[in-house]
Each structure stands twice: as structure tokens, then as C-alpha cells.
Structure 1
Amino acid sequence: MSVLDNSPNAKLDKTLLDKYLRLPLPEGKVQATYIWVDGTGENVRAKDRTLDFLPKAPKDYPIWTYDGSSTYQSEGRNSDIYLYPVAVYKDPFKTGGNNVLVLCETYNYNKEPTESNKRRACAEAAERAVDTKPWFGIEQEYTLLDMDGRPWGWPTNGFPGPQGPYYCGVGADKVFAREVVEAHYRACLYAGIDLAGTNAEVMPAQWEFQVGPGEGMKCADDLWVARYILHRIAEEYGIVVTFDPKPMAGNWNGSGAHCNFSTKAMREDNGIIEIEKAIDKLSKQHLRHIQAYDPKGGKDNLRRLTGLHETSSIHDFSAGVANRGASIRIPRGVAEDKKGYLEDRRPSSNCDPYSVCNALIRTCILDE
């Protein structure tokens, strides 16, 4: 039996949809997909509405609501959660018009941020640190699964060969579902996401894309929308995307979201001094960052940060030049140029990028 037999989506004839998507929209109509983070802190939800005008900025989009009791964010007797638009992207799925993806923050009935709204605190920190011009770049690793939860392309009753030939691999016996990756890459660029690149990762069926560098909130906003686009594209192929930091137990690499971070001072001549100061601050706040770097306060990363498979130990802070087994890696080129950025390798693949960026700003810039 083919793995596609278990996927209703994969059986649909996608050419039929294209026939209808080519129909022109009525004059002045815009299809807007509102996207938000649900109560899990790691999954995205979305719903569509029609607008009869094209807003000029995110603040001009209508505030909307949804049933928070169905997204782990409220009780049924007081279920309405507010959607506040904060960033807008071109829609790569509905291209026949001015259609958009609208990223939103979520607010409770009393207009206070929901528990899963980590963007609000990050935006406040970024505003206070704006003069230092913090840049972020995040390397998002993920794994593709079939409908039975098995990594895509793996033998049904066995395992592929040991890790080694798969990282940046080429060939049908080394990489699986490249179509999904290529489609995602192009769709993100079309949408306006600063997607810097992509590659096959160490475990077969594991991939990575890089977002940024972007100043302030841009990288974290882009990453959430890039995740949404990835889920949507994989959905069409009948493939499941998982951001679980250790999807396969045993001698297989886990998945992270390494965060590259710098300030204006770090990027200038002799910025290595500022990088070393930041690393010293981070060494004193290790537990705080571990708690911020996965949605379960470190429990997910406990399965990944073991000191093996290119990770540091979750219990100890470390730093080093070109050391992929350290908490903080200083890239070789940065050490040679004596300026640039640091790479925090601790965030898990299912992290909330707002929490990661918020923690780095508050520790390294605001000295909190």
C-alpha cells in the first residue's frame, strides 16, 4: 500500500482547483487570510474573509474575532478572542488579485494579550532596544512525515542507512520530497518573506530553511508566516510537517531553530568585544533562556539538548568558535573578522521566535 493511500488530500485532483482560482475576482474585492498562533504556542490557525477595499497598512485591516474555546485559549461561555493585524504578506495560494496573508496578535475579551501572545512583550523590548539595531536570523529545521507519523520516505518496517549521506544530499536515495521544499522556498519569496536559503538536513526527511537577517520584529513575523505556508503546501501533497525537536528517538539528529543575533556594535570593527560581552551575559541567564526556548519551558528541549548529535547539554552553558556542540557558536569567519554575530544553538525547532528574540534582547541589550 502506498503512503499516499492514507492521505485524503493527496488523492484530490489539484488541477481542478486551478480552474477556479483562475477566475477573476470582482472589482475591489480582496481575499484576506487571517493567521494566528493558537493556545499551544506552536500551532497556527487561519480563516478567510472578503474585504471590499485594499488597506494600506496592517493597522487599517479590520479587527476580527474567533472562537477561542476551540483553540485552547478560552472557555465556551466567554469564547471570543480578538485578532489584531500586525503584518501583511502577499498570498502565494490565491495569486489572481491583491489577496493577502494577515498575521495577527491575539487578545482576550478584556483586550489583554492571550497567554500564547508572545509578540506583545517582544515588540515592547524591541522598541526599547531600537537604537542598537538588533538583527535576527533563524535557521528553522523540520521533518516531513507520512500520515502514519513515519518520516517521509523511510522504509515502512525498517530504517534508512545511518546518518552521513543526507545532509545537503542529492539523489533519490538521499533526499525525499524536495518538491515541497522548492515550492515553499518560492512561495515565501513571493509572499515577501526574507527567506535566505534552504538545505536538506542530517536526518533523512529532515530539512531546514533560514529566515532573515531582519531587524527587530521582522524575522519572527516572517518565521511564523513561513511555517504557515509550509504547512499549507505540505497539506496539498498529503505530507505532515513536524517541528518536534526530537521526532525520532535514537541515533538521529533532532531539530532546532538556531538563532543568529547581532547588534550594530557587534557588526562594526572590533565588534567581537561586544559579542564576548553578550556571551558573558548569556552564561549568567542560561536557565531563563532554556525556559524561553521551547513552548513547554524546556521539557521538549530536554529530549534534544543531550550533548550528542551536534547539541550542547541542556544543563550546562558553553561557547566556542565553530563548535556545533556549544550553546553559543561564534562562526569561524566572525572570529577571523573580529566582528559579526553569535549563533545561539539552544532554541528548539518548535520554539516561539518571539520568545527567543525577546529573551536575547532583554539579556544582551536591556540587561534585565
Structure 2
Amino acid sequence: MAQILAPSTQCQARITKISPVATPISSKMWSSLVMKQNKKVARSAKFRVMAVNSGTINRVEDLLNLDITPFTDSIIAEYIWIGGTGIDVRSKSRTISKPVEHPSELPKWNYDGSSTGQAPGEDSEVILYPQAIFKDPFRGGNNILVICDAYTPQGEPIPTNKRHKAAEIFSNPKVEAEIPWYGIEQEYTLLQTDVKWPLGWPVGGYPGPQGPYYCAAGADKSFGRDISDAHYKACLYAGINISGTNGEVMPGQWEYQVGPSVGIEAGDHIWASRYILERITEQAGVVLTLDPKPIEGDWNGAGCHTNYSTKSMREDGGFEVIKKAILNLSLRHKIHIEAYGEGNERRLTGKHETASINTFSWGVANRGCSIRVGRDTEKNGKGESQSQSMPEN
């Protein structure tokens, strides 16, 4: 639902102190303040317990925000990998003796693959290879997030390690010469914790029909903006190439865009951004789902649309290159659909701005097609400065 423009110099936000997002415990703190304001139970045992809890929480927050850099060269590295479902993100922390600037400076590590659905119990060790580093927006300082892929102890990529093959392709000299740009539009839905129902929706009920919510403002139309904004800033702090965000068509649903990114960087950045979003919603007490169709019926689904172009597509005559690429995609439509993840048959129905999952189609500025070509691309005969030459629905 958004346009991703050509690469530009990204401003790196500097966050000196990250204020914790509200947690379920914080609601108790709020209750104590309300009770104090009402002066009904100011002297009760219940209120005194609340006050003690508030003090404990404040001390924990002080420790979470503690700056350790004046006292040690050590940093905390959060190793992140993709779990056995192919969509879940896992992570664990380790101490590194000094700050690092490149993944090659980090040691390999391991985890229990039998607990993530990636190895049998009798041979459970899976090895993590550090591949990309981002600044840690949660711990700050020199602490880092580390995107890893996973291998057997013998050095073979495990079946869920898709990054290994992608890196081989992107390192091919012919591919490198084409400077492939990716712009990824990640849609997601926020759910209430206890009932798994979209944020802002009445429990067991429905809001008004779609129409007022897309890119909207207002307490009756926009639900979860603080989470979206917190994620936006955290990604900029981390060094992720996030290029924008917006409220989506279904209330409680949001989108952000990563890119344009070149080659394998696109995958590293989108996975790091997903991990950060998981952590922020965890702190906010809200459930994140990437389900393609979280609510059945007359509601938009949530996709991850991929915008793509190559150097040849962006040069004079590029529109013919684009059409040839679209033809090649059409010949492998079924194979591609199978690789796009589970549940898309519920979303790709031909309704709600989607194409039918069974039929390949393309068009200019047509959101009901499998492949949508930008209007300017058709007009100029090439992709020019946009990476939105070929978004696939």
C-alpha cells in the first residue's frame, strides 16, 4: 500500500535514553495513582502494596537503562535466527569482550535445535553463523543485534536456512552487476493479548466497515500508532533501512517499508525489523501476527509485498526487460506461490486488493493483479528512480 523511492542518505537517530514501553504491570501503577487521586484507599494495605510494587518497578527500570560503558569494554550481543516454522524469530544473548564492527569478529554459537523444531533430540546442536550486525535499540550503548543463519556441526545449512542459498545467488557476478533493488512492504496486525482480537475492536464485535481507517488519524480510526512509531524510531536507531510506515485498510493493521536495499541486505534488514517489532509488542502487552488473513470476511488481509528492479530495468528500454521478467514469473507462478508461506489461499481470493491465488496476472497501477507495474514506469519506459517496478501480490 505504499511507494518506496530510490535510495537516499538515511538519517541515523541517536537515542540517549529509551523509555520503556508500558507493560501490564504498569497498569497496576496507574491504578494506584487513580486510587490516590480519589483518596478512597490512600491508607489501605492494598495501596501500600501498590506503592511498594511501584518502587520495585522503578528500580528494575533503572537497571534496564543502566549505562555500563564507563565500567567495562564488554558488550551484549543478541544472536537472532529464524525458527523451525520459517516465520518465528528466536534469540539469545552472550557477552562479547569488546565492541565489534563486523560479523566476522563474532564467534559462532549454538542452540538446541530440538526445542525449535530444527533438529532431533539425539543430535540437537545447531550452529549459528553471525551474518549482519545492527545497533541494539533496547540495550543501547555498543550492544548489538546479530542476524544469524543456522548450520549443522558439519557445516551444512539446515533445511530452514534459506539465507545460505540466497547469498550464493547474490554473490554471482552477473547478479551483482545488475544491482538488484528490493523494497519490502511488511503489513502486520496487532491483537489484544487475552482475546486474540484486533487492537481497537470491541471484544466479540466488529468496528465500522473499512474505508475510514487507511492512513487515518483519530482515536476512533487509528489503533496502535505508538507501537508503529516506536518501531519506526527503533529501526532507524538500529541502522535498518526503513523508509516509511502507515496505517492500513483494516483497523488495528499497520505497514512499514524497508528499502530500497541491494541483494542479501534486504533479507537481513526485514528480519531484523521483524525481531524489533516482536520485542516492542512484547513490551507493550500486544500480540503481533503476520497471518495473511487474521479476520475472515470483508476485511483486508496482511501481505509482505516485494518491489523489485534491476539496473537493466532502470535504464532506457527497461520496460521491455520488465515485461520479459514478468513472463518468466508467470511460467513459475505455482512454484512461487508455494514458497510464499502458509495461509495465502485465505488472502489471495481476487477480492480486497488481491489477485486470485490460482491465476497469474499483471497490469499497470492495478492492485488486483499478481504483478503491478507503476504508472511512471509505463510512462517513462523504464523503472527510473523507483524500485516499485514489479510488486507481487
TM-score (norm 1): 0.88
Does the CA contact (< 8 Å) of 1:136 and 1:219 recur in 2?
Answer: yes
Q: How does 1:107-256 map to 2 (within 5 A)?
A: 107-128=151-172, 129-147=175-193, 148-256=195-303
The separation in 1 between residues aligned to 2:84 and 2:188, in whole angstroms, is 21
Map of 2:361 onto structure 1: 318
The amino acid that maps onto 2:358 is H
Aligned length: 336
The amino acid that maps onto 2:168 is E
Q: Report the alpha carbon displacement of residue 269 of structure 1 after superposing the two structures with TM.
A: 2.1
Asked which structure has the greater CA Rg, the reply is: 2
- Given candidates 334, 342, 355, the residue that maps to 2:389 is 342
Q: Report the alpha carbon displacement of residue 55 of structure 1 after superposing the two structures with TM.
A: 2.5
Matched, 1:103 2:147: yes
Q: Report the alpha carbon displacement of residue 162 of structure 1 after superposing the two structures with TM.
A: 0.3
Q: Report the alpha carbon displacement of residue 227 of structure 1 after superposing the two structures with TM.
A: 0.3
Map of 1:365 onto structure 2: none
- What's the C-alpha RMSD, in Å, of the aligned pairs? 1.6
The amino acid that maps onto 1:245 is P
Q: How does 1:43-82 map to 2 (within 5 A)?
A: 43-82=88-127
For structure 1, list consecutive stretches of 5 or more residues without a partner in the other structure: 1-5, 347-368
Does the CA contact (< 8 Å) of 1:81 and 1:109 recur in 2?
Answer: yes
Does the CA contact (< 8 Å) of 1:9 and 1:236 recur in 2?
Answer: no
The amino acid that maps onto 1:101 is L
State the secondary structure of the residue aligned to 1:323.
Answer: coil
- Given candidates 33, 42, 45, the residue that maps to 2:78 is 33
Map of 2:371 onto structure 1: 328
TM-score (norm 2): 0.83
- Overall identity of the aligned pairs, in %: 51
Q: How does 1:4-23 map to 2 (within 5 A)?
A: 15-23=58-66
Does the CA contact (< 8 Å) of 1:141 and 1:256 recur in 2?
Answer: yes
The amino acid that maps onto 1:168 is C
State the secondary structure of the residue aligned to 1:69.
Answer: helix
Cα gap change, 1:64/1:324 in structure 2, threshold over 3 Å: closer, same or farther?
Answer: same
Q: Report the alpha carbon displacement of residue 16 of structure 1 after superposing the two structures with TM.
A: 4.3
- Given candidates 266, 277, 287, the residue that maps to 2:313 is 266
Q: For 1:247-274, what per-residue CA distance to the aligned partner results, in whole angstroms no more than 9, with x for missing partners?
A: 0001100011110000001111221111
Q: Report the alpha carbon displacement of residue 326 of structure 1 after superposing the two structures with TM.
A: 0.1
Q: Report the alpha carbon displacement of residue 291 of structure 1 after superposing the two structures with TM.
A: 1.3
Q: For 1:107-146, what per-residue CA distance to the aligned partner results, in whole angstroms no more than 9, with x for missing partners?
A: 1232211111100111111112111111101000000001
Does the CA contact (< 8 Å) of 1:9 and 1:235 recur in 2?
Answer: no
The separation in 1 between residues aligned to 2:27 and 2:282, in whole angstroms, is 8
The separation in 2 between residues aligned to 1:249 and 1:185, in whole angstroms, is 28
Does the CA contact (< 8 Å) of 2:316 and 2:382 recur in 1?
Answer: yes
Does the CA contact (< 8 Å) of 1:198 and 1:207 recur in 2?
Answer: yes
